[in-house]
């Protein structure tokens, strides 16, 4: 089983060590965790968006001697949320700029589940907080043989 809280902490530590992300603050997005208002710079809140642990129809492969072997019959998928917040003075462009810089490193994320892909959902403006937010995600997937 994958430790989801440790996955978030490992991702936070991994990204904040990158020199070209040194201006970005990475925080776990747990309940009660607050960001400074107004923002002093970009903030990325990391959390688990979803997780699915399921048995699937078995997948087999044939070897050179025509003997079939079970490849996998179980899949664990994890979607990590990386919500990017920038001050309103960035006009939202800063969100995409931070996401572009992070994408260089996200394919090397593993933590027990190999990287599958990244994406974003859309940007929102929060007038009360004076921030733009871009909701992005990382998909991880592990195929295994369940007994």
Residues 93-135 pLDDT 10s: 999 999 999 999 999 887 778 899 999 988 999 888 888 999 9
- Cα separation of the two ends of the chain: 14
Global pTM? 0.82
CATH of 4-48+77-141, one of 2.30.42, 3.30.2000, 1.10.4160, 2.60.40: 3.30.2000
**What average pLDDT is seen over the chain?**
84
Number of H helices, E strands in the chain: 2, 5
Answer for the pair 16, 35: CB distance below 8 angstroms, yes or no. Answer: no
Domain ranges in the chain are: 4-48+77-141
């Amino acid at each position: 089983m994958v430790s989801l809280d440790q996955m978030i902490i490992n991702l936070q530590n991994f990204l904040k060590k990158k020199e070209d992300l040194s201006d970005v603050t990475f925080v776990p997005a747990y309940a009660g965790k607050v960001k400074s208002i107004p923002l002093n710079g970009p903030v990325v809140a990391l959390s688990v968006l979803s997780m699915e642990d399921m048995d699937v129809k078995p997948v087999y492969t044939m070897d050179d001697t025509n003997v079939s072997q079970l490849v996998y019959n179980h899949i664990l998928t994890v979607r990590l949320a990386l919500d990017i917040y920038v001050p309103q003075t960035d006009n939202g462009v800063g969100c995409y700029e931070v996401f572009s810089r992070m994408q260089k490193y996200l394919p090397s994320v593993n933590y027990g589940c190999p990287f599958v892909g990244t994406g974003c959902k859309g940007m929102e403006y929060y007038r009360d907080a004076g921030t733009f937010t871009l909701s992005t995600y990382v998909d991880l997937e592990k195929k295994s043989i369940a007994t």
